[in-house]
Structure 1
């Protein structure tokens, strides 16, 4: 059995997502399973080169997992022979320059979203990669969540009839960092560093809504910075200049209305950290990260509004669980395998830099809609 090594420069792996999802569960997960078998029988073996700003953190991470290749010098990593892919999980504000350097070095690029802080830069990166002839892809992880895969199965199977509306709830309480350590890095709450929940999450909502339900046609948003002061990783107070919550309404093709609340300042009273309810003429579904439950038209009860009496119905028990009917792997790992196949054997990979630019476009329009206090059309993006 032939084994082929492929070097991957992984920038930002000392961060939460870069480490847990991309290095540990994806690249090292592929290695733990013996590599990725390609269509011709060759086994693709990923060789990560860890890149970051802290020499101490990189050394500790490499030693923990028996890795030997790491550096704080991105240019040196990109110049190493055998490295074919550049991956970026850094802070958003550093992403454009790093990707430009990777493309100039002739590397294929796979990156976290958003690809840039603004649409002009996102489109420029897409055109740069196209002109250079390198393959390019953007992480769209929520499409691979078990709950949303089940929801997509229901849509494709016509379960809903005519879809009427979508309601999404995402978020949790992120501690301010004074009396309890914050679960997210402080740059997330500084606009000047590319922070903000709109730029972060609306890129997700674009591909979730369009990949599962229907294309977007308009957006209106009310954003907020509910907590104006937070504490950084050293315990020092700082002013939060980015939005920490956003309340959005979207119009989709066919007159479908979607409402999505995104918040890092809410306490969770739902089964999962993100849930989407889809209502249609023939049935409804509620999907989260892993679970998906349905209520068909034929099984819909007839509630009666009576505020003078206590509720006697257990509404949750009136829904049925959608079965797995498949083995679901880690979504990040699944998409990594698809991108590796895209590079190694030219297999299809639809989530390119233009898909990433569509997410940035929606975030940019949402921020503008908030500032101007009005509904904005979402125009088609030209490649």
Structure 2
């Protein structure tokens, strides 16, 4: 067995996602399992190089996890020939320029979404990576959630018959920051800093819909800033200039209609923070982060509308759970493994910067739809 060390620049590692999901639960978890086997006797050993703006925070993370390489100098890290992969989990507004630097330096790039603040910028990154001959990928973690994998199993098995519609509910109450600290950074609520729930979540909905049900053909969206004032990390009030809720209708190829509500100003009355209900001619299912329940056509009850009497049906009890049928790893880690195998074993991988550009496109057109008050066609992106 040959161990090959792979130095990976991890930019934005002091943020919540960069720290917890990508550093700890992905790259360090790969080290805990002895590295990543490539099937030819080689095991990749990730060696993170922590990159960010706050020296003290980087040093503290490095000390906590026994890492030695960290820097506030991105250009210097990218100039190091020993660094082969660049990963970006920064704030959206900083991502495009950093990815452009990494591509120009000849690094393979893997990034959180959205990849850029505009479709033109996202496509320019994808085409630059292709021209440079570097491997490139975008995090599309929802596809690896146990609940959506179970839903995919039902789809692949033909359970639904003809799929009719998809209904999604996502969100939770993000505290304003005055009497309880907010669970999300303040930049998320400032449009000038790349914030907004459309920019954050529509790229997710694009790849979920595209991969499971078909390409999005049209979008119609209504956005709102339900909480107009919030308090930042220093306890100072600021005006929320970005949307904190979005109500979208998406028409997919094949005629499937999807409705997805996204909100940081909603209190949860469902089993999980995100749920998708899929209805088809032969059956229905409700999938969340981990679980998935289904109801077949033959087991569908026959309710009759009568507001004068209590319903005789316990509707939620009439659904069955899709069994696990195997272990599910952390979704971020699972996609890291696929991307590293793509880079170092040339394994197939299609969640690239062009796929990421589709998400940016849908967010851009969703905001335009909300501004203009109309349904907008979503053209297919030319690679």
Secondary structure of 1:254's partner?
coil
Query: Partner residue of 2:320?
Result: 320
Secondary structure of 1:125's partner?
helix
Question: Aligned equivalents of 1:238 and 1:271: distance in 2?
Answer: 33
Secondary structure of 2:290's partner?
coil
- TM-score normalised over the length of structure 2: 0.99
Q: Deviations over 1:13-37 (max 9, x none)?
A: 1000001100000000000000001
Question: Aligned equivalents of 1:195 and 1:235: distance in 2?
Answer: 19
Question: Aligned equivalents of 1:313 and 1:380: distance in 2?
Answer: 45
Secondary structure of 2:40's partner?
coil
Corresponding position: 1:74 with 2:74? yes
Q: Deviations over 1:76-99 (max 9, x none)?
A: 111223110000000000001101
Aligned-pair RMSD on alpha carbons? 0.6
Q: Deviations over 1:206-236 (max 9, x none)?
A: 0001111122111000000111110110000
Secondary structure of 2:30's partner?
helix
Question: Aligned equivalents of 1:220 and 1:247: distance in 2?
Answer: 8
Query: Partner residue of 1:375?
Result: 375
Gaps of 5+ in 2: none
Query: Partner residue of 2:44?
Result: 44
- TM-score normalised over the length of structure 1: 0.99
Query: Partner residue of 2:35?
Result: 35
Shift of 1:257: 0.8
Question: Aligned equivalents of 1:251 and 1:100: distance in 2?
Answer: 33
Q: Deviations over 1:107-159 (max 9, x none)?
A: 00000000001100000000111111111000000000000001011111110
Q: Deviations over 1:158-189 (max 9, x none)?
A: 10001110000000000000100000000000
Query: Partner residue of 1:218?
Result: 218
Q: Deviations over 1:29-85 (max 9, x none)?
A: 000000001121101000000001111111111111011100111011112231100
Query: Partner residue of 1:292?
Result: 292
Shift of 1:312: 3.1
Question: Aligned equivalents of 1:68 and 1:256: distance in 2?
Answer: 51
Count of residue pairs the alignment pairs up: 383
Corresponding position: 1:101 with 2:136? no
Secondary structure of 1:59's partner?
helix
Query: Partner residue of 2:130?
Result: 130
Q: List aligned pairs for 1:329-344, cutoff 5 A.
A: 329-344=329-344
Question: Aligned equivalents of 2:61 and 2:216: distance in 1?
Answer: 41
Query: Partner residue of 2:260?
Result: 260
Corresponding position: 1:350 with 2:337? no
Structure 1 outlier segments of 4+, above 6 Å = none
Question: Aligned equivalents of 1:38 and 1:164: distance in 2?
Answer: 41
Secondary structure of 2:294's partner?
strand
